[in-house]
Structure 1
Amino acid sequence: MEQLEGIQKQIETERARLNQMEEQYGRLDPGVIRQSRRLDELINEYLKAEISSKQLDSKS
């Protein structure tokens, strides 16, 4: 669970950064797009960790 919480905090931080960058530079700025992809990667990482955690819990 600690892993999920850590990733969740990273997601919140990166989402806030994305929102700030979007306001400053606009949606089509290459840096904003990179940040959006970074956020997508973190969300995917979180979902994979969540699935793994649930699978481990169901085996116990």
Structure 2
Amino acid sequence: MLNNEKMVLLHVENAREKLHQALKKYGFLTHPKVIEQSVALDHLLNQYSSQKTVC
């Protein structure tokens, strides 16, 4: 696995943990902070997916 891929995966795991924490803190999926973190995670997953299809 390329170093860049590893970095993106680390960011994905970090963003996923932040999403879980935001959901626990705010209590519902429609809270703006939960949505914001979900969008950030989606962006990272799309980035990772794009890198995988290029290789």
Query: TM > 0.5 between the two?
Result: yes
CA RMSD of aligned residues (A): 0.7
1:24 aligns with 2:31: no
Greater fraction of residues in helix: 1
- TM normalised by structure 2 equals 0.91
- TM normalised by structure 1 equals 0.84
Moved over 3 A (4+): none
* Structure 2, unpaired ranges of 5+: none
Separation in structure 2 between the aligned mates of residue 52 and residue 28 of structure 1, nearest angstrom:
34
* Structure 1, unpaired ranges of 5+: 54-60
Structure with larger Rg: 1
